[in-house]
Chains A and B, each alone.
Chain A
Amino acid sequence: MTPVATPFFFYFLAALTLLSAILVITQKNAVHSALALILGLLAQAGLYLMLYAPFVAGVQIILYAGGIMVLFLFVIMLVNLERSQKEEQFNRQWLVGSLAATALGGLLVAVFIKGKALFPTSSTQIAEASNTQQVGELLYGQYMFPFEIASLLLLVAIIGAVVMAKKRI
């Protein structure tokens, strides 16, 4: 299956991602931020699909958009204070912060442009049809140990979250 109109979709999705990212950090209302983030995550899933990574795209949708963001929305609803929308949204060092971050971005782009020659010209052909199988084999073969560590991490996170959030245990 060859993707159709690759440049169009790339620019479209990239623009969507960046636009929603800008909305995330500028919205006053946290729920609107979260919605923008969801849109961005979905657009990013589209980018993953264009990069022949359907499994990651699926995981992105299920875990990020369907799981983590619901958690975010829950918490926003619990802690949504009218007050927090009225007060100052950006802290005092916002200008310095943005400048520093932009500088970092400039640095990154400079590195990319400088090191463009180092990039391999030909991309390895990844068989899309067997992507899931290959990911699975790697995950349960070579990366078995990290995988288990990740599950342990999740367990710790569950316990941690419960301990933190519960009123009385």
Chain B
Amino acid sequence: MLDYVTSYLSSNTTPGQAGNVVWALIYILIVFAGVSIAVMAMNWLERKALAHFQIRLGPMRVGPHGLLQPIADAIKLLTKEDIIPENADRLVFWIAPLIILCASFAVYVVIPFGPTHAITDLNIGILFMLGVSSLSVLGVVMAGWASNSHYPLIGSLRSSAQMISYEVAMGMAVVSAILMTSLNRSGTGTLSMIGIVEAQQQQQIWYLFKFFPLGFIAFAIFAIAMVAETNRAPFDLPEAESELTAGFHTEYSGLRWSLFMLGEYAAMIAVSSIAVTLWLGGWLRPFPNALTGATWDLAFSLLPGFTFLVLAVVAWVGVIRMPKHSYFRMQTLGLAGFAVLLGLIGLVLFAPPVRDRIQDIFWFTAKVAFFMYMYIWYRATFPRYRFDQLMRVGWKVLLPVSLGVLIGTAVVGMVL
């Protein structure tokens, strides 16, 4: 058993490539559990960050600083009555959230958290990702139709029109990044997610900065399109509550509604992962060219543990600032426990074997977290586009620009 674990730890391929079913299953479990936890954390973080943007406190009651709020929410949603409208198409109504959930979770099969930390490495990785994530349109359309109500139907039509429109620009931007992978000696590019990051490593540049500003424009297009693709502000018109109440999931409640939310957040993380993989160097650490040498390597490898220690200190400050009243004792203890937990994780991350293994995951997660923060930031800042303006942006601005970038990348790549 131990041998098995160690043999895995020293392996240099993903479980899927190695054809190791057991490890693949374990990985699938880890990744899906991790994503579910990340979604819950994201839920808390979004409410908290949004609240602080808006000079509010956000959840404060359930657990210290509302840390247990997502769990309370989950319990509430699970125990809620599951209402199916009288005239709804029950079968389709049932399946729709599952499709969205499956589509957004299936994407994680190919996301490379590290050179070996991926469930598998498909050689059509990015194609697979785009394809599977485009399947969630089906869920949206079905949910709107099955509810047998006007607002969800209009919401779902809008939503699917939006997702399909932005998929085009998104695909073009992705293609221009893939073109860059072929700029090596053998002249063969790759669609594999791991291959794309390795190409960036070989070319010693993140594609964000490649052929500046071409790579940057492609990235910007993708970054805009991915917000539209996940129906988030400022492109959240399917859910424009001042116009359509809640869009395609108006009639959903309880568990099924929470599946939609889970799917939405998982999709947000998934598209951010694509962006990170394609343009921000995936698991590669920042400044690999400028800050080289053993010292810098050590410093960067200590960063994950250090980050957790900082978080622990922040949490501990929270403990100190808790009101000294018996009423708050449980909360204080809970927060102290959380701080200690963070600190322990930080310490564990300093251990050399863990450190080496965990580094790529850390950088990948940090980059994705940046995008997650941007999502929240957009939501706090921007008003909502009108539908025709949204379509105009998608078709008349992003698509031509992405085509131009694609051609530009091809030409520059040929010349160089």
Contacts and interface: CB of A to CB of B under 8 A. Distances in A.
Contacts of B91: 32
B145 interface: yes
B158 to A, nearest CB: 12
Of A4, A58, A77, A129, the most chain B CB neighbours within 10 A belong to A58
B138 A58 contact: no
B160 interface: yes
A58 B131 contact: yes
4 cross-chain pairs, A with B, having the tightest CB-CB distances, nearest first: A66-B134, A61-B131, A58-B127, A62-B131
A35 B95 contact: yes
A66 B191 contact: no
A57 B188 CA distance: 21
Given A1-B19, A4-B21, A74 B127 contact: no
Nearest to B129: A58
Contacts of A65: 131, 134-135, 138
Contact of A70 (B21, B95, B128, B160): B160
B92 A54 contact: no
A73 B19 contact: no
Given A2-B19, A4-B21, A74-B141, 17 more contacts: A1-B19, A31-B142, A54-B123, A59-B127, A61-B132, A62-B127, A65-B131, A69-B138, A70-B160, A73-B142, A74-B157, A77-B141, A77-B145, A80-B145, A129-B123, A132-B127, A133-B188
Given A61-B132, A70-B160, A74-B157, A31 B145 contact: yes
Interface string B6-49: 00000000001101010000000000000000000000000000
Contacts of A35: 92, 95, 142
Interface of A: 1-2, 4, 29, 31-32, 35, 38, 54-55, 57-59, 61-62, 65-67, 69-70, 73-74, 77, 80, 128-133
A4 B142 CA distance: 34
B15 to A, nearest CB: 11
Contacts, number: 78
13 contacts: A2-B19, A32-B92, A35-B142, A61-B128, A62-B130, A62-B134, A66-B137, A66-B138, A66-B167, A67-B134, A69-B138, A77-B141, A132-B127
A73 B135 CA distance: 13
Contacts of A77: 141, 145, 153, 157
A129 B16 CA distance: 14
A27 B318 CA distance: 60
B225 to A, nearest CB: 15
A152 to B, nearest CB: 18
Interface residues of B, number: 31
A77 to B, nearest CB: 5
Interface string B143-182: 0010000000100010010001001000000000000000
B138 A4 contact: no
A44 B167 CA distance: 23
Contacts of A128: 123
A61 B124 CA distance: 12
B92 A31 contact: yes
A35 B153 CA distance: 17
Nearest to A128: B123
Contacts of B189: 133
Contacts of B100: none
A51 to B, nearest CB: 14
Contacts of B167: 66
Given A1-B17, A54-B124, A29 B138 contact: no
A117 B238 CA distance: 58
